[in-house]
Amino acid sequence: MQITTVTVGPVATLCYLLSREGAEDCLVIDPGDEPGRILRAAAGKRIAAILLTHGHFDHIGAVNDLLEKDTPLLIHELDAPMLTSPVLNASRQLLRQDVSVCTVRKDGSPLRPNLLHEGSRLSLAGLEIEVLHTPGHTPGSVCYRVEDALFTGDTLFEHGWGRTDLPGGNEHDLFASLRRLMPMTKTLPFYPGHDA
């Protein structure tokens, strides 16, 4: 699996592009901003799906510009309301501007996100994906195990974890999620939503 990292937006969100070597399509995890840079990193590959680890503004900001007619958007069911709510996705509070995902695609067709649950298994762009529900940073935070790598969003960073003081955050749930993830990080490389 090839992994390309693009750091985007005002809070340096780590967006990941995943693909098989030589494949014509890729997956995008957490396109938080700067869609042009993300598309350049895709290097002409078709975006087969957009996967969100959670619904905060800094992880969804480029979704509107990357969605084509048939591009699936995947998010845990508990975070789906954040896509269209600047209050829930914290953009109004932290950016002082509203960020939301459109409910209609560029071609006029309705956008209905694919809702994920604990244990969902997906096969996209030739990659096998397992969904781990890891609440705490948000109610619907997830980690994606893709092949032999773990994408942890804002649940787990290299030297810490995500905040719990935004809407829906829960410290008790976050620490339970961290206890679940820690054994995995001893055998799997993990890729967080931010460097710090």
Going from N- to C-terminal start, the domains of the chain cover 2-192
- The 10s digit of each residue's pLDDT in 170-180 is 999 999 999 99
Answer yes or no: is pLDDT of 169 > 90.
Answer: yes
The CATH superfamily holding the domain 2-192 is: Ribonuclease Z/Hydroxyacylglutathione hydrolase-like (3.60.15.10)
- The 10s digit of each residue's pLDDT in 38-90 is 999 999 999 999 999 999 999 999 999 999 888 999 999 999 999 999 999 99
Q: Tell me the one-letter amino acid at 17.
A: L
For the chain, give percent helix, strand, coil, nearest 5. 20, 30, 50
Q: Tell me the one-letter amino acid at 100.
A: S
Q: Per-residue pLDDT averaged across 108-121, rounded?
A: 92
Sequence-distant (6+) residues with CB within 8 A of 169 are 136, 137, 138, 162, 163
